């Protein structure tokens, strides 16, 4: 059974929802203030009968106007935005991957048009990514050919898998179930069929599943 994205709310989704709400609140407040000030200035400075239009043009500024002020303002705005964006990603632990002694590390390789999942014991699965619930899972992503995008819609997490380098992403699934995994980068004619499943088991079921694995043996569906 497949679940819709809203069925699973792990910590990362909760963080993103909170951040998104703050962005909407501050964005709306800033919009209201700017629009109100703009309307106020328009009403205040509109041309009325018998009123002179003020001369704003200053000869000494030349054609570029107050370019130093514009550059300063752009630098200031850019710095604030960069700081806020960095803090946003840092607060969601997307810059520094969280680690715990019991984190599960899985090597994920994308290739046209299939994902493969290699576990610490050497077992490689070409169909499902099977993980325990309520445990930090760290994925080491790479690609055997072109750039792919590893995407778990239900958990709001995604990261590109690129040839030649290893990128990391993490998640902590709090609900057991089966969730879709998709490729998010257009990688060729089979892109839309590059689907896998995330199988989240209870910790006990996961241990049972893991200890019964035939190590270093790939399941059906391999290349
Ligand atoms: Cu792909």
For residue 86, the surrounding DSSP H or E stretch is helix 67-91
Residue 109 Cα to ligand 1 middle (Å):
10
Residue in 98, 160, 105, 158 with CA at minimum distance from that of residue 132 = 105
Residue 41 lies in a domain: yes
Residue 194 Cα to ligand 1 middle (Å):
6
Residue 79 Cα to ligand 1 middle (Å):
35
The C-alpha atoms of residue 103 and residue 56 are separated, in whole angstroms, by 64
Residue 201 Cα to ligand 1 middle (Å):
26
Q: What is the tens place of the pLDDT at every residue in 195-220?
A: 999 999 999 999 999 998 876 655 55
Residue 160 Cα to ligand 1 middle (Å):
9
- Please give the average per-residue pLDDT across 78-85, as a whole number: 90
Residue 149 Cα to ligand 1 middle (Å):
6
Residue 105 lies in a domain: yes
Q: What is the tens place of the pLDDT at every residue in 140-191?
A: 999 999 999 999 988 888 899 999 999 999 888 888 999 999 999 999 999 9
Residue 146 Cα to ligand 1 middle (Å):
8
Residue 9 Cα to ligand 1 middle (Å):
26
Residue 71 has pLDDT above 70, yes or no: yes
Residue 31 has pLDDT above 80, yes or no: yes
Which of 28-37, 58-67, 111-120 has the weakest average pLDDT? 58-67
- Per DSSP, 11 falls in state H
Residue in 135, 160, 150 with CA at minimum distance from that of residue 11 = 135
Residue 140 lies in a domain: yes
Residue 57 lies in a domain: no
Query: Beta strand 177-183 with 196-201: parallel, antiparallel or unpaired?
Result: antiparallel
Residue 116 Cα to ligand 1 middle (Å):
12
Residue 68 lies in a domain: no
Predicted local distance difference test score (pLDDT) of residue 100:
76
Residue 127 Cα to ligand 1 middle (Å):
14
Residue 192 Cα to ligand 1 middle (Å):
8
Residue 56 lies in a domain: no
Residue 148 Cα to ligand 1 middle (Å):
4
Residue 126 Cα to ligand 1 middle (Å):
14
What domain count does the chain have? Answer: 1
Burial class of 35 by CB neighbour count within 10 A (0 to 12, 13 to 18, 19+): exposed
Give strand pairing partners of 56: none
Residue 131 Cα to ligand 1 middle (Å):
22
Residue 90 lies in a domain: no
Residue 75 lies in a domain: no
DSSP 43-63: HHHS--TT-PPP----GGGTT
The domain in which residue 31 lies consists of 1-47+97-223
Residue 168 Cα to ligand 1 middle (Å):
17
Per the CB < 8 A criterion, the answer to whether 131 and 173 are in contact is: yes
Q: What is the CATH number of the domain that holds 138?
A: 2.60.40.420
Sort residue 58 into left (φ over 0), alpha (ψ -120 to 50) or beta: beta
């Amino acid at each position: 059974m497949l679940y819709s994205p809203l069925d699973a709310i792990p910590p990362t989704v909760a963080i993103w929802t909170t951040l998104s709400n703050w962005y909407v609140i501050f964005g709306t407040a800033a919009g209201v203030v700017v629009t109100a000030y703009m309307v106020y200035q328009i009403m205040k400075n509109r041309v009325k009968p018998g009123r002179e239009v003020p001369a704003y043009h200053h000869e000494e500024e030349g054609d570029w106007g107050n370019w130093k002020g514009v550059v300063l303002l752009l630098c200031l705005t850019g710095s604030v935005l960069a700081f806020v964006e960095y803090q946003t990603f840092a607060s969601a632990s997307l810059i520094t991957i969280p680690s715990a002694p019991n984190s599960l590390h899985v090597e994920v390789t994308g290739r046209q048009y299939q994902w493969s999942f290699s576990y610490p014991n050497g077992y490689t699965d070409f169909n499902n990514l099977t993980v325990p619930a309520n445990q930090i899972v760290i994925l080491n992503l790479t690609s055997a050919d072109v750039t792919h995008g590893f995407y778990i819609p239900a958990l709001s997490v995604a990261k590109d898998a690129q040839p030649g380098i290893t990128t990391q992403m993490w998640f902590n699934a709090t609900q057991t179930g089966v969730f879709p995994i998709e490729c998010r980068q257009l990688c060729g004619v089979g892109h839309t069929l590059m689907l896998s499943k995330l199988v989240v088991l209870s910790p006990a079921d996961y241990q049972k599943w893991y200890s019964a694995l035939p190590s270093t043996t790939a399941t059906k569906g391999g290349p």
